Amino acid sequence: MYYPKSQIKTGSYTNGDQFINTSTNKLYQGYYYETSNGSKYTGKTPQDGPNILLISPEENFPFDPTNALDNSEFDNTIQYYAINSSTYDFFTNTNTNKIRYIPQFNLTLPTAQDQQNKQFSRYFCKKTNEIQYLEIDKDTYQKLRSQSSQIAWDLYNPTILNWQIAGNKEQVYNSNKASVIAIEQNLKWPGFSQYFQDKFLKYYVES
């Protein structure tokens, strides 16, 4: 169906927690456009195909939580996933299968001391073979960095982000945005800045 430009909103971006791709029945992360009747399709514009219809999870009920990018919002009790990882046991000289857990969404909140310091550290990871980002806690970050056998470190790349939370409001906004863009460029993480949805004043404390 043809829509004039005046009836199309282009260039929107979703982090993967809003819509389901009707061709895969999985949560969709990436650019999309919206028509005047409220329908949403993959791609920045109608010319940026393929244009697959997107629907909300509620429209697709019942929804399989194993398709979600962030499983924690469906069941916080699901902590571990079995990953068949062929590893070498140096003590027995045999190959063994390990059970490793997948990083879960976990916010790091600023403490009172952090507020005094006007900054704190936030932790993120990117799936190695997908444009999929996740905020994690310090413990998960350290396990990924140290390539712990407890976690699927080969499937995710971690980073640490210095986050300003006090001071001149405009400067704090610009500083946090610049830090995010620097990671996006240095680590070649496309769309990482869109993950924040322009919330570069999150946790900001008025002085």
Domains of the chain, by residue range, sit at 5-58, 85-196
For residue 27, what is the enclosing H or E element? strand 26-27
pTM of the entire structure?
A: 0.56
Question: What's the CA gap between 30 and 15, in Å, rounded?
Answer: 7
Three-state SS sequence of 50-119: CCCEEECHHHHCCCCHHHCCCHHHCCCCCCCCCCCEEEEECCCCEEEEECCECCCCCCCCCCHHHHHHCE
Which two three-digit tokens encode residue 103? 């990083």
Per-residue model confidence (pLDDT) at position 144: 96
Burial bucket for residue 195 (CB in 10 Å: 0-12, 13-18, 19+): buried
CA atoms of 146 and 151, how far apart (whole Å):
10
- Is the pLDDT confidence value at 16 over 90? no
Q: What percent of the chain has pLDDT over 70?
A: 76
List of E strands, 99-196:
119-127, 133-136, 156-164
Q: What would the mean pLDDT of 34-53 be, rounded to a whole number?
A: 82
Q: Measuring CA to CA, which residue among 195, 193, 128, 136 is closest to residue 155?
A: 128
Neighbours of 89 (CB within 10 A): 10
Report the mean per-residue pLDDT for the chain. 79
The residue ranking higher by pLDDT, 114 or 19, is 114
The Cα–Cα gap between 138 and 108 comes to 8
pLDDT (mean) for 184-206: 94
